[in-house]
Structure formats: C-alpha cells, structure tokens
Amino acid sequence: MAIHLSCFFVPLIKPHFLVSVFTAIVAYTFFGLAQLAKEIQDPFKDRPMCLALSAMSRTIEVDVLEVLGKEAPGYLKPKYTILM
C-alpha cells in the first residue's frame, strides 16, 4: 500500500518530466522487490521455484532402506521437467 501511495504522490509534489521518470524507475524497482519477496517467502511449497523436499525425502528413504537391506520404492521422477 505504501509503495502505491508513494508512486502516486511523488510526481504530484513537483511536476516535472525527470521526476516522473525517476518515479517510474523507483516504482519498477520496488514492485520487483515486493514480488521477489513474495516468491521466496515460503520455500517449502510444491511449486517449480521451491525446494524439492518430496524428492529429497524420497532419496533419503531409498538410501536408508537400501542400507538396511529392505526393498525400496523408486526415486521420484520429474513432472514436466520439474522435480517436486
């Protein structure tokens, strides 16, 4: 909300072409950082840009069962070239 207000009111303080250009550059940076923060906020979901915890857990499970001499399930395969 603060990003929206600042991007709206800064050009109104002193209307000039360079102020508008500067505000556009700052707004682009702030909105990009806000989106980046949303993406890395929760890294444990089953989405393409998150950690592949299911695959890591299955790999550990298979390795432990092989060491114990028991039958192990197969490794997880990528789905649409994404390992989740």
How many domains does the chain fold into? 2
> C-alpha distances in angstroms, 68 versus 35, 36, 72?
45, 43, 10
Q: Are residues 6 and 30 in the same domain?
A: yes
Residue 79 above 80 pLDDT? no
Domain that holds residue 70: 43-84
Average pLDDT over residues 71-83: 78
Residue 84 above 70 pLDDT? no
Q: Are residues 78 and 60 in the same domain?
A: yes
The answer, as to whether pTM is greater than 0.85, is: no
HSE (side-chain half, CA atoms, 13 Å) at 76? 17
The count of residues in the chain is: 84
Helix or strand run (H / E) with residue 44 = none
Q: Are residues 53 and 73 in the same domain?
A: yes
Q: Are residues 51 and 84 in the same domain?
A: yes
Q: pLDDT tens digits for 10-43?
A: 777 777 778 878 888 888 888 899 888 887 887 7
Average pLDDT over residues 49-75: 85
**β-strand partners of 81:** none
Q: Are residues 63 and 34 in the same domain?
A: no
Alpha helices in the chain (DSSP H): 2-13, 17-40, 53-68
Question: Which pLDDT belongs to residue 64?
Answer: 92
